[in-house]
A and B are shown apart, each in its own frame.
Chain A
């Protein structure tokens, strides 16, 4: 299949602690993430999925291996360049929304652009706001919005600057199923309509079923992947992985 690679990790290792206490959160992961795709990263707790995302987003530095965003190799970048990269090329959606409480919904959406000192493109702004369905609530502060609304603001913020890639870390972790569906639908729609690249870490098979491709991590390694996933298929994979993990632990003990 002929796809453009939006991001790529090569032999990525991330080790915490040293000596006996050494724990490898990532133990040689190599994965390509394709442009215009919605990819989910899944795995049991401790499989390294969050660490992978943090390393890819330039929030955490890997112990060895490379991370490429487009053609740029992240380990070569200084803090200043990483900051600019995050500002201009990356969008974030966090589990706990992480909106700035002093800013209105609109200001939060525009935040990465205004930090860079740029004006949002009017028609794109309207389009995003419409997709997100926040029109009447634009001038409210985060504490006046429900969790689902806050997360939609966060999603709009991530999409506003049309970044090369959006990272979503358990975006539905704090939401009920209706709000989750709204937020996921919104992300899906952006991938379909605007070929936005999105990488989402989740442990929820229902959420992962919205994506094009699911990558499974276990023990710091990429072990399988699924295309065109459904919730049932994912659940099945997870069951196998978890069983293996339990067996592994039992064998060690």
Chain B
């Protein structure tokens, strides 16, 4: 029996390679996700380790990996006392900022939007790894506020050489500074993952960014010979007071790595969702391939049965075949996954995450997960065809045409209805539920509905195929009619092939509807809430100096400048974005009719929440929430509830005071600029532009441009999702290629006959192509219809969270279908060529 299995594998190389492709791509996505997040993890771990000394002294929460810029400091006297410790070999007090952006020679921010701009005191500290944190590779140490050292990568990206004058966007006043590049350094552990590093001497750091105070952000201690981290920490601790604490380097790296794990875990889950989609689509392809292979071999399998092979043996021989295919597929998948991880590196490079120096290790866990996923999915997918193979009666060997026992369409219809009903139930429960569980329920519900639809698609797709067939007949005559008939002759096969494409397109259509609705909702919100004439906003994640707001206030004709600051905080234990603003300024810039409370009640010690959050969390006026910023947690009383508005990009609103109390450096993210009634808009624009034009991280916009910027961000995110979904679509297209190729083989004799009675090669190719187009269009139409249904449902469900306008991009959806038709043409190229090349004489005499 094993020999038969083995021979089969060899004899059907091509078909099996095609079905292995589905496994390869699915597994590649899984392994690629892991390899990429591992690489990212090791890069950041390197940064954390390479930047941490034996013992770190700092205000609680100020210098952690996920800390935001903190302005709390340690008096210089503490550093002097620490220097007396015999346990400390060296003591390096330092200052640091996270928002000192290097402007390149081209006038743009080096590294783009996203990665932090580190500004640190030039100190010679050793990290826990024993290496110096920074090492000079060229030039000298900077002295004075007009000299700076940069890391080599940043200098290169910015186009700077020693002696050049480097420009910076500073978080302080003035918002733009410049200094001569006198030194080039390398970060101890190599890569900074896209962050920029600028070094000034100690006094200059304090003068430039800490108002000249002789105080430090933190103090790094290196242990003397024979002194452990803990001993050094215990020696240092008694000298500290207030919220300043000493921690061992190990403890610091551990907290950092925990924070990192969380971010990476989120990213990994995000990527694995797409891997799962790819796997589901791949499953269709595998089921279909094995079904067709079994159908084509049914006579041979019956012969085996007739010669005494048991059902079990037949079943097992098919499964064994699947097993070998899955092993080969998983192995290749692992290799392709490595390439995919490099692709992800490029994709995430668009966000400024530079992992070009990072290693991409393949961990044992990645290997195991890849094989498990590949093998398990394949075996599950091959099980149904294998069971069907075992049901072939031995007598079939004697018959000319063997019909495989197939489940009745009525049963499939029924099963489909059950799946859809169950899926709808799950989705409803998911919408009612919260957080991850809710999302999971919605996802599983959608999957269930999609499987239900694909079960029913042999029936519901028939009218569409018939309709296309009628059109074909009219346009292409007999060739068109034959193509449509071919698509109809194996409704299950056609449906399964189309379903794979349907799943991919459902998600693409769904995302395009949600994206368009979100854009439309944002437009509406901006239009209806914004009363300010201008908005000054930052690049994503790069807040700017408050001095910009001060300068704008000086411009003639300006009435109000409302400063909005952003921070990440833990609210009742979960990480949330929080914004702060001055309530009076805010009411001048925005029309926000409050659901409860009045703006004057937003004062230090209180917090506003938005309506959907209040509803889902059950918050009411007077309740207290615990907000953790940097190190400390403070209770805040809810004094108002505001409606969702895109102009305020957070669920929580506090006063500036609350953020500064938490230790955060005051930095603005958004400025709403309101003019005096009499002032001329264009004059004002010129005046404000004068202030912002030299700062590449800060841009001036009117409400329309602001809306466009928001749309741009949504589109960017959407495009990234399209890229990730693209793989599922590729797998589906391979499915079409596979099915067509197998069908061509199956119909060899018939093709021979058609050629013999005068069908030209060109007509034959057209026939295959037209069949392919039918399958692709069927999948696309089903996908778009399902996408619209899900899109409308999801939009309704999140309407109260700000996406309250439903906008369906019909034109775009139509384009998807047309593109699918073209994809169908492409998918048919190889199978059609194969069919056209068949030798007429040999084809006609094949069994």
Contacts and interface: CB of A to CB of B under 8 A. Distances in A.
Contacts of A114: 477-478
Contacts of A8: none
Contacts of A94: 753, 844
Interface string A69-111: 0000000000110011011100010101011111100010001
Contacts of B763: 115
A127 interface: no
A92 B478 contact: no
A157 B754 CA distance: 12
Given A54-B841, A83-B761, A87-B757, A101 B482 contact: no
B238 interface: no
A115 B766 CA distance: 12
Interface stretch (B246-254, B483-491, B689-697): B483-491
A129 B698 CA distance: 84
A112 interface: yes
A59 B477 CA distance: 25
B485 A103 contact: yes
Interface string B461-503: 0000000000000000111011001101100000000000000
A130 interface: no
15 contacts: A83-B755, A83-B758, A86-B758, A92-B757, A98-B750, A100-B482, A100-B750, A101-B489, A102-B486, A102-B488, A111-B478, A114-B477, A115-B758, A115-B763, A116-B758
B477 A117 contact: yes
Given A92-B757, A100-B753, A115-B479, 15 more contacts: A59-B841, A60-B841, A83-B755, A83-B758, A84-B758, A87-B758, A88-B758, A96-B749, A99-B753, A100-B482, A102-B489, A112-B758, A115-B757, A115-B763, A143-B401
Nearest to A92: B756
B823 interface: no
A59 B755 CA distance: 9
Contacts of A101: 489, 750
5 interchain residue pairs of minimum CB distance: A87-B758, A102-B485, A114-B478, A98-B753, A112-B757
Most chain B CB inside 10 Å of its own CB: which residue of A80, A111, A115, A116: A115
A117 B760 CA distance: 12
Contacts of B595: none
A55 to B, nearest CB: 10
Most chain A CB inside 10 Å of its own CB: which residue of B477, B758, B841: B758
Interface string A207-228: 0000000000000000000000
A114 B476 CA distance: 10
B761 A79 contact: yes
Contacts of B489: 101-102
B840 interface: yes
B432 interface: no
B263 interface: no
B137 interface: no
B759 interface: yes
Most chain A CB inside 10 Å of its own CB: which residue of B754, B756, B760, B763: B756
By size class, the interface of chain A is: 20 to 34
B493 to A, nearest CB: 14
Contacts of A96: 749
A91 to B, nearest CB: 8
Nearest to B487: A102
Contacts of A88: 758
B749 A98 contact: yes
A84 B760 contact: yes
Interface of A: 54, 57, 59-60, 79-80, 83-84, 86-88, 92, 94, 96, 98-103, 107, 111-112, 114-117, 143, 157
Contact of A111 (B486, B749, B757, B761): B757
A157 B478 contact: no
A230 B477 CA distance: 46
A101 B482 CA distance: 10
Interface of B: 401, 477-479, 481-482, 485-486, 488-489, 749-750, 752-761, 763, 840-841, 844
Nearest to A51: B841
Nearest to A97: B753
Given A102-B489, A114-B477, A83 B753 contact: no
Contacts of A87: 757-759
Contacts of B761: 79-80, 83
A102 B482 contact: yes
Contacts of B760: 80, 83-84
B482 A103 contact: yes
B756 A86 contact: yes
Most chain A CB inside 10 Å of its own CB: which residue of B478, B485, B761: B478
Nearest to A147: B400
A245 B481 CA distance: 50
Nearest to B763: A115
B220 to A, nearest CB: 79
Contacts of B749: 96, 98
Contacts of B486: 102
A84 B756 CA distance: 10
Nearest to A59: B841
Contact of A115 (B485, B752, B759, B841): B759
A75 B107 CA distance: 73
Given A54-B841, A59-B840, A100 B754 contact: yes
A115 B485 CA distance: 15
Contacts of B401: 143
A86 B757 contact: yes
Contacts of A107: 481
A204 B128 CA distance: 96
B485 to A, nearest CB: 4
A127 B760 CA distance: 28
Contacts of A84: 758, 760
Contacts of A98: 749-750, 752-753, 756, 844
A54 B485 CA distance: 29
Contacts of A115: 478-479, 754, 757-759, 763
Nearest to A85: B758
A170 B841 CA distance: 15
A86 B657 CA distance: 91
Nearest to A80: B760
Most chain A CB inside 10 Å of its own CB: which residue of B749, B755, B760: B760
Nearest to A54: B841
A107 B482 CA distance: 10
Contacts of A54: 841
Contacts of A79: 761
A46 B479 CA distance: 37
Contacts of B759: 83, 87, 115
Nearest to B847: A96
A107 B759 CA distance: 15
Contacts of A57: 756
Contacts of B485: 102-103
